Chain A
Amino acid sequence: MAKNTTEDAAPLTPRESLRFLWTQLTSMRTALVLLFALAIAAVPGSLIPQRPVNPVKVSDFIRDNPTLGPIYDTLGLFDVYASPWFAAVYLLLFLSLIGCIVPRIATYARSLRAQPPRTPKRLSRLPESTTGLSALPAGETLDAAEAWLRKRRYRVRRQDDSVSAERGYLREFGNLLFHVSLVFVLAGVAWSTLFGYKGSVIVVEGQAFSNNLSQYDDFSAGGSFRPADLAPFTVWVDKFDAKFETGPVQRGAARVFTAHVRSQEGPGAAVVPGTLEVNHPLSLGDTAVHLIGHGYAPVVEVKDPQGHVAFSGPVAFLPQDGNFTSMGVIKAPDARPQRLAFECFFLPTAVVNQQGPHSIFPDALEPQMFCNAWSGPPRQETGRPENVYSLDKTGMTQLTRDGKIVNFRLSPGQAVDLPNGSTLTLLDWRRWTKLQVSSTPGLPLTFGSIVAAVAGLCLSLFVRPRRLFVRAVPGESGSAVEVGGLDRADARTGLDEEVAELAAAAGAAPPPAPGEQESDPAGARDPEPAQARSTRKGTP
């Protein structure tokens, strides 16, 4: 087949092929196909777990589906919205959009300067038309029609024996504005992605966060971000209030989260007290601080067998479920002769039953901590970063008493003596807040463009372009008037009324009979007899 085509038709030059491809790409048909492709391409990401949203679910999925998992992974189905094929669809769509819009902008710019089209020869061929007789001379009839049209904000073009008028130029303007705005929405997103950053940090009540890279728990930034771009602010979290539903309906659901904070935009600036809530982020210059999570931090003290304090302070635990069963590790690397570590659960409202210890309510009504203990020889300080939420057990052994593993439970204020002579005390508990610090420099551009896009969309859907024409031919007394109009958009109504009103404004007597264009097919096809008839009626 391919051989035949090359023989039958002259081969396209590369230039022609490119032009052909470009025409295809910018056609409305291709745009439709690409829109549909975008809709379908977006589906899998909502049904398959996504790495950026929930990496744990993704690894669970791969473990549970040993054959399907790796295939999905190769196809990028675990990160659909950053995958090359998804990018290909939307970039092609935007390319098609730009290719379609740019020539239309040029056409529109020309049409803005152009006059309305000339009056067609036969107004009766238009979708709506009427005829009548005016007592005024043709010139004055046209003057009256022109004045009426101008009052209705039509653009008017006067010709020898007629007036043509057009309105609704804003429709195409709105259409172009909408599509151009979409390009700027994407540009704003790209700007934010390149120059913006986002990081999060856990801050325990009573502690502070200063905005520099070493303080973050996790941090991601665009390719053009420089650490010097970080605004030098500090936020102190003094207190965090959390309240939960205690009634029978939605028991345990969150009701109030409020962090009482102080903030300082930079060294030497004033310290401003404030509150940080879920829908009320702190705004520090171009940086936003959001409250995106909370949890519990037991305050503990570890003493080694000599009675030296090896560790003291709050330790942030990570919540594992909706009732804040929290898991964490207390590390005392400075304890001697052996370093110590504890693997613990902190349960805000602790219950022990067949399922083991767990929490039954998110608030701290009956806080308890369940631990086991590990020890090992002191380790060289390597400076290598270490996960604070998990324990590297190489070289450590679990503490036992009489051959049994040591487990213990602590309420606030209680201490436990361990077999090796060291002690662990649960002094108290505090809440921690997870703060998200982000800078999205493209945000004003993105949201501004969305506003422009919605405005443009409304113009393009609600402005309905219309053309009206009036012709006046001198008659025996006065003039014979012919009025016609057409709509250049879907779903416009009221054309018949406006044509009739224009005829009346031009001084023409109303049409001879209601529903004229249906009852008079001959007249509708050819204006001359109708005009003659009207003329006759006017001069009995």
Chain B
Amino acid sequence: MTLTGAGYYSFVAMVTSAVIYLVAFAAFSAEWASARNLDDGNPVTDLTRSETDRLRVDKFGRIGVALATIGLLTHLAGVVLRGIAAQRAPWGNMYEFVTTAMLFVAIGALVLLTAKGMRWLGLPVTLLLTVGQGLAVTVFYVDVAPLVPALHSVWFVVHIVAASISGALFNLGAIASILFLIRGRAERRGTLHGYLARIPSAQALDRFAYRAHAFAFPLWTFTIAAGSIWAEFAWGRYWGWDPKETWSLITWVVYAAYLHARSTAGWRGRPAAILAIIGVITFWFNFVGINLLVSGLHSYAGI
């Protein structure tokens, strides 16, 4: 690896952000773990538990938020420096796309965490960010390079920004859907205690998941449409069943099924949440699997 100037500092910032996210994840884990014996529904133990126990849970949470914020700032610096080093929008290959999409996840999650009081997002989101940034700097990394002619287009910005924002929202929605399944099971079995008792009700999680998906789905539709317009300019056909195109359609169809399931009797709740999780799996498969396993016109992974 030969790195100089902004490219070098960008990489350092990215690695640092991955480490800080990991530490933030540890803090949020401590938050969840220290809440283990709180609010277990037993009025006697709940009363005897001192206020310091509650404060300790909160303290770990605050540490997590503070660390995640520092991680976000480092991450942002990494993405901006990468753009300066490349002298273009920094999403021309797999490494750059992951780091940008993860930046959108981090920004979205921190806004929700602080402004909307959704502290419960901390643990799953920092886990996602640690894995995402960790994979980016270790597996996906490529040095700065100019773009191939096919990427010289205004759609380069439009298509990819839309893809990364909707990807970020799909991930947030999937996190809420997974928590919905866990919390819903605990609610049905009456085993609601520990941190699980402190996150929103299954109904509220379901509503949050729906909102994230309802916002992401039109954006994803737009991503595919913008991609097909770009394909018409660059390759002379708007749809060619390239593996990436096919899988973006599969993701679209799965989320369309999710939205329909939510308004169909017998499909609400668990089946819909499972569809949302399948949706995010197809999204990730399209991104990682198709880039690395299948060759197609979208082969910009550079690995």
Contacts and interface: CB of A to CB of B under 8 A. Distances in A.
Nearest to B207: A491
Interface string B207-232: 10011001101100110010011101
B23 interface: no
Q: Which among A32, A254, A292 has the greatest number of chain B C-beta atoms within 10 A?
A: A32
A248 interface: yes
A278 B234 contact: yes
Contacts of A257: 149
A290 B241 contact: no
Contacts, number: 132
B243 interface: yes
A279 B152 contact: yes
Contact of A249 (B143, B257, B294): B143
A450 B231 CA distance: 15
B145 A278 contact: no
B257 to A, nearest CB: 4
B262 interface: yes
A491 B236 contact: no
B241 A254 contact: no
A341 interface: no
Given A292-B235, A461-B218, A255 B149 contact: yes
Given A279-B152, A280-B233, A490 B210 contact: yes
A290 B290 contact: no
Contact of A490 (B217, B233, B262): B262
A118 to B, nearest CB: 26
A453 B252 CA distance: 14
A114 interface: no
Contacts of A32: 257, 260-261, 264, 267
Classify chain B's interface size: 35 or more
Q: Which among B149, B263, B264, B290 has the greatest number of chain A C-beta atoms within 10 A?
A: B149
Nearest to A451: B225
Interface in A399-453: 436, 438, 440, 443, 446-447, 450-451, 453
B257 A279 contact: no
Contacts of B115: none
B291 to A, nearest CB: 12
B195 interface: no
Contacts of B214: 461-462, 490-491
A85 B262 CA distance: 28
A32 B241 CA distance: 23
A189 B239 CA distance: 10
Interface string B191-214: 000000000000000010011001
Contacts of B294: 46-47
B146 A53 contact: no
A428 to B, nearest CB: 25
B8 interface: no
B217 A43 contact: no
B284 interface: no
Contacts of A446: 238
Contact of B253 (A39, A450, A454): A39
Interface in A172-214: 189, 198
A254 B155 CA distance: 19
A28 B265 CA distance: 9
B236 A39 contact: no
B2 interface: yes
Interface in B107-137: none
Given A39-B257, A42-B250, A279-B233, A454 B225 contact: yes
A245 interface: yes
Nearest to A33: B257
B66 interface: no
Given A39-B250, A292-B236, A490 B207 contact: yes
A281 interface: yes
Contacts of B241: 45-46, 50, 52-53, 80-81
A461 B222 CA distance: 14
A277 B236 CA distance: 12
A461 B148 CA distance: 38
A447 B229 contact: yes
Nearest to A493: B207
Q: Which among B214, B243, B247, B260 has the greatest number of chain A C-beta atoms within 10 A?
A: B214
A509 interface: no
A253 interface: yes
A279 B237 contact: no
A448 to B, nearest CB: 11
Given A42-B249, A278-B152, A458-B218, A35 B257 contact: yes
Contacts of B149: 254-257, 277-279
Interface string A251-286: 001111100000000000000000001111100000
Given A253-B145, A253-B148, A462-B214, 11 more contacts: A28-B260, A32-B257, A32-B261, A35-B256, A42-B253, A46-B290, A53-B241, A245-B146, A446-B238, A490-B214, A491-B207
27 contacts: A28-B263, A29-B267, A32-B260, A35-B256, A36-B254, A39-B250, A39-B253, A42-B250, A43-B246, A45-B241, A46-B294, A198-B236, A245-B146, A250-B302, A257-B149, A278-B234, A279-B230, A436-B236, A446-B238, A447-B225, A450-B221, A451-B225, A454-B225, A461-B214, A461-B215, A461-B259, A491-B214
Closest 8 A-B residue pairs measured CB to CB?
A290-B236, A46-B243, A46-B246, A279-B153, A278-B149, A35-B257, A249-B145, A250-B145
